[in-house]
Amino acid sequence: MYYQVAKQPTLWQVIQSVLAAMLGVQSHKARERDFTHGKPSQYLIVAIIFVICFVLIIFGVVRLVLHFAGV
């Protein structure tokens, strides 16, 4: 008998999946891979890191714009 070995997604695949999910453009093939072989904790940690980075970037841009506006 042949058993397919469950291969964990790489860090790069997890990052791509999280970014695609945030934009709402996740492919069916990638979604199937994520749900069958991925660990939820991997995706959760990467998503939290990206959300924190996104919020910090937006905060920095707003502060920069307010600084140049003289407010």
Count CB neighbours of 14 within 10 A.
19
Q: Would you state the pLDDT for residue 3?
A: 54
Residue 54: which pLDDT band, with cuts at 50, 70 and 90?
A: very high
Q: Would you state the pLDDT for residue 50?
A: 96
Q: Kindly provide the b/e burial profile for residues 21-36, where b requires at least 16 CB atoms within 10 angstroms of the residue's own CB.
A: eeeeebeeebeebbee
Q: Would you state the pLDDT for residue 71?
A: 83
pLDDT in tens, 17-53: 999 998 989 888 888 888 888 899 999 999 999 999 9
| Three-class secondary structure of residue 48 per DSSP | helix
Q: Would you state the pLDDT for residue 15?
A: 94
Phi/psi zone of residue 48: left (φ > 0), alpha (ψ -120 to 50 degrees), beta? alpha
- Torsion 28-19-21-32 (CA) sign: positive
